[in-house]
Amino acid sequence: MKDVICIQGTQGINNLKNVTLDIPKHQLIVVTGPSGSGKSTLAMDILQRECQRQYVESSGISAESIAKPNVDSITGLAPSISIGQHVTNRNPRSTVGTITDMYTYLRTVYEKKGVRTCKFCGESISPSPVEVAGESMKCPACSQPYMPLTKADFSFNTPSGACSTCSGLGTIVDIQVEAVFNKEKTIREGAVTFWYESLTDYQANIIEAAGKHYGLDMSGPLHSFSPIQWELLKHGVESEAFACHFPHIEPPKTVGKGKFKGVLTAMWQKYKERDGQSSEAAYFTTQSCPDCRGDRLKFESRSVTVEGRTLPSLARCSLEELNDWLLAVHAKSRMEGDMILLVVLEELLGKIKRVILVGLGYLSLDRQMITLSGGEAQRLRLASILGSGLTGVLYVLDEPTTGLHPKDTDGLIEVMKELRDMGNTVLMIEHDTRVMQQADHIIDIGPGAGRFGGEIVGQGTLKQLMEQSSSVTGRIVRAQSRIQSKCRQGNGDVISIHEATLHNLKQVSVSFPLGSLISVSGASGSGKSTLVFDLLANASDGGGRVEGCREVIGLNKVNSVITVDQSPISRMQRSSVATYTDLYTLLRKVFASLPAAKARGLNEKFFSFNSPGGRCEQCEGLGIVEVDMHFLPHLRVQCPTCHGKRFIPEVLAVTYDDYTIADILELSIEESLSLFKDHKKMAKLLKLLCDVGIGYLQWGQSVTTLSGGEGQRLKLARELSAPANGHTLYLLDEPSSGLHPLDVHKLYVLLDKLVDAGNTVILVEHNTDLIAGSDWVIDMGPGGGNSGGQVVAVGTPKQIVSSKASCTGTYLSI
């Protein structure tokens, strides 16, 4: 059996040059290098894809639809598991507890050990060893019958356990009807507030036809409508509440004759079909269920206690708190000799320990997966995999330290070493120097990004890389170049938050000096994002008023507040780097103005891959089509009609400097700088994208493929491209996420320029270089969850290093 994975002769795969590489098995391997140098191409597009192709082929399924990587040969591969940062689970029922099975084990504890209250006499009923599911028991005090509760009764995802009011979601969603309709207007005047002009005309024709069918005049202002007219407008002709008024009239059969669905009915349909991501989502409100008050379970289940605690109350605890409670229950069960429960408790404690090890002890079981960052979701999956016992597997990880405080990195490294020691190969894309120090082998790709990268510039341990002159990473580590703080004093004004108590914050009062670069640091889950985004950002939207603190003062000292977080830009595959930044609008104008385009009668619309005309209709302008892989996820492959070019031949015949529009969509931002140097607007925007560290992204790259950090820097570039509006307060969420140390320095230069121009920048940040280069640091802690929520140190980076209370100062090199 080979002890290496051997890749020979990569040919034209993205920016990778003719690479030949041996990757040692059963080791902890880091693939590093500048952003866009080719790390993901090597790890994901070559290794992971070929593992997937070979697995499908060995399963007896045709693998023809999976393109074989364009390499001379790949040998020594193992079954692979890729753990990326994209949160694909959008189901509101999926929580930390359900996705890891920790909640399942806890339900077993409540089934076996739960104490309930008799609904007849009010006495407590302790669990009986003779309880049998489906058979009634008698209350020891009053002899009234009751049915034993099973594990299903403690699940909010089953009819037997879920609260009937909210169906186990803990919240109820409703439409703000008053915001949907303007009662002073007629339908044609725009009474339905979110219908644009052409849609208003279209829908008005249907509504008037429906009114005519039933003898109702629907042309007046809404305030004059009768209850029946309102029912037609809100719920349509097929609703029972409307149809009961016309028992002898058949509803219209076609849209032209008045088959109107109803405004609210259509809104609900779109909301459910798109998982709450419809364009009318702003008109929906979510509030706690009035029955279970967020507990999700039916009354009988949510009232059961073990050692005085209900299941919902434990689901709300941090995992660290839950761990302490379970240890106490475990000790008691051991004394009682309950061996069956001990097995369950030990398995559950093992799962919790692994999640705490990867720095997620501040999470709770009821935390929805949809609310986790990419880094959190990745580490949670990593912790779950550790308990699987698999061996001989190639694990491919994408920057697992993203969003992790330096003090939590050691636990993550321990988990990855444990995976390795089980006989697996762990390969990760990573920039963290502390992880590199612990790696068995490092592959350094560079020397730059895009066409300036794609070469193996160094291999070996970190110590060996530091001795290799060609290694970009080794050179930076060897030089130990640090960002130096300018220690600006600010402009004399401050923004202050007083007595903040939101989430885990404990009466926090803190001030932010304006005209400075400020880092808010601290352990994962310590309250950084709550302070900056839930309070400061929301206070700016609410004129200084926000729930969760006494007051926020000083916002009148800035002209505007720009929040740039890591939430996904869009979940639409059609949204690309070029379309999001408006580069594509400028590009289409350039192509439409060319003589070849005018000769063919091609206007700007023909150069859009998002509308019919010039795009390939087989793939609808995406360049790829989906293949059903049966029991595997759908696979995306190159469109067989346009061969990934997105457009019809007539459009591709038009060239700019020998580039078709499809060619430009495949160029990186950095590669196109010289191509459009004479187009002032485009050149400025392209340079800005390079300045924020994403010059390696392709024009046509879908924003759904971007990491949280890349998406954030793309948002930042778009905001910076807008005209200046006086003193601006920028709130950034870990802008260094996914950046190589070389690129962190470039980002710092940009942030420094923003502050020198008279603005204020506040970062929620873990990167020690950026923190050390800040003018002012607010360090949160001391831990995460309930162990955090306090400001433990405030001051310049030097003062933070000197603070014994700071958990961040230890890691700063000043």
pLDDT at 392: 93
Rounded CA gap, 335 and 329, in Å? Answer: 10
Which has more pLDDT, 752 or 637? 752
pLDDT at position 53 is: 83
Q: Tell whether omega for the bond before 782 is within 30 degrees of 0, i.e. cis.
A: yes
Question: What distance in Å separates the CA atoms of residue 692 and residue 668, rounded to the nearest whole number?
Answer: 14
Element (H, E) at 21: strand 21-24
User: 542 in helix, strand or coil?
Assistant: coil
Residue from 683, 813, 695, 698 nearest 34 by CA? 695
Q: What integer is the mean pLDDT of 346-362? A: 94
Element (H, E) at 522: strand 517-522
Model confidence pLDDT, tens digit, residues 619-645: 999 999 877 655 555 667 889 999 999
| Secondary structure percentages of the chain, helix, strand, coil, to 5 | 35, 20, 45
Residue type, 578: A
Contact 797, 777 (CB under 8 A): yes
Q: Which two tokens stand for residue 66?
A: 């999976």
Q: How many CB atoms lie within 10 A of CB 201?
A: 12
Q: What is the C-alpha end-to-end distance of the chain, expressed in Å?
A: 49
Q: How many CB atoms lie within 10 A of CB 534?
A: 19
Average pLDDT over residues 250-268: 94
What is the signed CA dihedral for 521, 770, 728, 712, rounded to 10 degrees? Answer: -90
* Lowest-confidence region among 83-97, 297-311, 502-516: 83-97
What the block records as the tokens of 424 is 């697996």
The predicted-structure confidence for 12-48, as pLDDT tens digits, reads as follows 788 899 999 999 999 999 999 998 899 999 999 899 9
Residue 772 token pair: 């050390």
Of residues 371 and 163, which shows the higher confidence score? Answer: 163
The pLDDT of residue 802: 96
> For residues 542, 548, 549 and 555, what is the CA-based torsion angle, rounded to 10 degrees?
-20
Taking 60 as the threshold, does the pLDDT of residue 270 lie above it? Answer: yes
Give dist(CA 92, CA 134) in Å, integer. 30
In this structure, what token pair is assigned to residue 617?
A: 């209709």
Closest CA to 478 of 463, 457, 493: 463
In whole angstroms, give the CA distance from residue 124 to residue 325. Answer: 22
In whole angstroms, what is the distance from residue 475 CA to residue 467 CA? 8
Question: What is the structure's pLDDT at 801?
Answer: 97
Position 724 scores a pLDDT of 80
- Per-residue model confidence (pLDDT) at position 88: 59
- 3-class state of residue 497 by DSSP: strand
Token code pair at residue 472 = 């970009």
Distances (CA, A) of 621 to 615, 661, 665: 5, 12, 12
What is the per-residue pLDDT for 568? 75
User: Average pLDDT for residues 210-236, to the nearest whole number?
Assistant: 97
User: What are the chain's domains?
Assistant: 4-87+372-479 (3.40.50.300), 175-288 (1.10.8.280), 494-568+724-811 (3.40.50.300), 577-705 (1.20.1580.10)
pLDDT at 63 over 60: no
